[in-house]
Structure 1
Amino acid sequence: MLTSTAKPQKPDFDQLSPDLQWHICQRRERNERAIQLGAISLVGLLATPMLIPGLNKQMDVSLHEGREIKLGPITVYEAPPALEAIGILPPEALAPVEVGDEIAGYQVNSGYGDRVHPIHGDVRFHNGVDLPTETGVAIHAPGKRSSRVKVDCKNQPGGAGTYAEISSPDIPGLVFQAMHLSKCITGLHHGGAVIGATGNTGGSTGPHLHWSQMDSVTGDYQKPQKGYLQWAMTGQAPKTLKEIDQAAVPFQSLLSDEELTCAIGNAEGTKGDDCTPNPAYFGHIDPGNGASNIGAFSYQHGASSPEEADAKQIERLRNAESSIQQKAVDKFGQPLSKAALASALDLWNQAPLAGDDFVMRLSTADPSPQEIIDARSQAFINPATGQLEAPGLGNSIGNVRADQKRRVNEVLEQVQ
């Protein structure tokens, strides 16, 4: 067999087909780009130790101090701190919670850090703060209404009792724990929704909320910050620096403090039809839980006088009013009528969890007296279990309806 010893000749580029020429050019361009990018990356890597500190410093100035460029005495360019522009919480909202701070009308009585354990009597590290409350005060999902806040309910007998671990997309990097709860609802919740209620479960000396704050990556406990605890207690996000600077028009209530005091005082039995205080106003024992009550609203969280008790409860009711009216606007496109609002706040004063559910039970923002009575009665039914929860009224639907009819009539006498 004859074999050829001639070497194949490499064709000239011009002799190749147009398709093959195009593919070769594309490959050359890709190789050249890869070399260029590699060279740029190498230069950047070598320059990083010199450039990054300067860049970090300039970024920090832009974020926290803003920018100002002057031409002599004339300012030609000015920009506010970037953190303010995007709505970062003000310093007071991010300040640590301290003993004595008042959060949503309740006073912190045990802080973060070493303390003498109230049960065991020895010095132990306290990984959160304690907020004494009555049993059943609502805990809200800290987040925007359009967000979904994750709640995992767990139980630790003799310790945290029933507790919730809370993760919010609007508070990245942190996880919160709410302990000693009487109620906890696992799942994904709208921001502001009720996710549980304070209680006295586990190792506890009385009804209160233990609130902890943790790094979501390391799991390390941190000193809790006021704004986040306030958010969980009220369902209302702390105002941002931008909102404060804009000085928004203050919320105008349909009810004056006097109307609120007279209406709820009449329903509580601490004031007469003419709003005159009776002996119960100056102090009485709550028939439901045996606590000492004082003032028009039967306040039971510590006050030296009826006047101080009324001032503290009015502040709590105004926070609740804002949340209730926002729910009404979200559902009906308008706030509640004056009669419905007064009834809602009286219900919240009587049973905060039921008050938080009141709007959900309504079919209109301007209900009739009978519709108000029906909605208030239904609000004592736990939406998670379908069970009536009114131990102070014997868990009897008949007792609940009779009590709500009486209270609504006495409230409406004062505001209509």
Structure 2
Amino acid sequence: MDFALSSRMQDLRDRTRAFIAEKIIPLEKDARRTSHGPTDELRLEMNALAGAAGLLSPHVAEQWGGLGLNHQERAIVFEEAGYSMLGPVAMNLAAPDEGNMHMLAEVATPQQQEEYLRPLASGRKRSCFCMTEPSPGAGSDPSAMQTTAVRDGDDFVINGTKWLITGADGAGFAIVMARTIVDGKDVGATMFLANLPCQGFRIHRLIDSMDSSFTGGHAEVRLENMRVPASSVLGEIGAGFRYAQVRLVPARLTHCMRWLGAARRAHDIAVEYAGRRAAFGQPIARHEGIGFMLADNEIDMHTTRLGIWHATWLLDHGGRGNKESSMIKVHASEAIYRVADRCVQVLGGLGLTADTEVERIFKDARAFRVYDGPSEVHRWNIARRLADKAAA
């Protein structure tokens, strides 16, 4: 594995870094940045800036308007984008749209790609991914899914409740997962595409949550006799869980990339503050209690970056990366939270305020340990593989 950045990677890194510093960070105090995330008005304004810089949706193929980045190149660009919490939204590489673009490129028919992927990649539409359900439905255990799609002639009729659906408010379309009933038989979970708004898809409420960086926030959605044609099936009937893995493995990694950028931002703020804030006759960075925290930040960020780069290298060389993506998701989410927590501590009272981005990064980073599989579920899967190997 070669750790040297190609000239293309260096150019992408430098261009993205300059774009975030010059165009996006100045917007962080914009009033259109709400508790449920940046508004669509602000998003579209930032998307236009990214488009002018040649950095909109860089992860998608050139035929969809992107740069066709491989996974290793994404690691470089996504980290730089994450240096501002607005950066991923600005460059149209935030969840859930980024993961949905990847899955549509892999699974959708050419007609579906034109209808859904092209406007999503251009920023004209947003999307949402409707899988998670309130108890006793699907969460960490997708097989507990309660939502059903019953075949009715040439249509499917979908009923159920989804919640914590990121970006549902204002989305142009949804990808809905449901247990599929054909001729009275459960044939497995299927993914369905649905243009929004549509009859039967109702946002019951917007959920107040710790994180505040996703346009459209998080919603509870009620699906009440939502009728979709058979042509809206994404991929094959009954193959929904398999396609979910197509989406989730790289999506775990891109979360890690973006959050690493946010951790680096918090760390840079803390280092700058510790270098100028004096106590007991010297800058607080000179005190071991502070200096050691900053050193631990460097260690956590370095090992996180290496883990991300290794997993992306595997994907780019044809590996599946399931175990590796699980391992780095656990490590990254916990290491990045430690970095953010230390930065709050270094800043002291300032770290508890919204005067810097550290407070927002700290709160949002806590959620990363839950979504895309909580740490405990990933550890359980890794341990299960070890137990199976020991029993073989």
Bucket of the pairwise TM-score, normalised by the shorter protein: under 0.3
Which of the two has higher C-alpha Rg?
1
Structure showing the higher helix proportion among its residues: 2
- Highest RCO, 1 vs 2 (Cα 8 Å, sep ≥ 6): 2
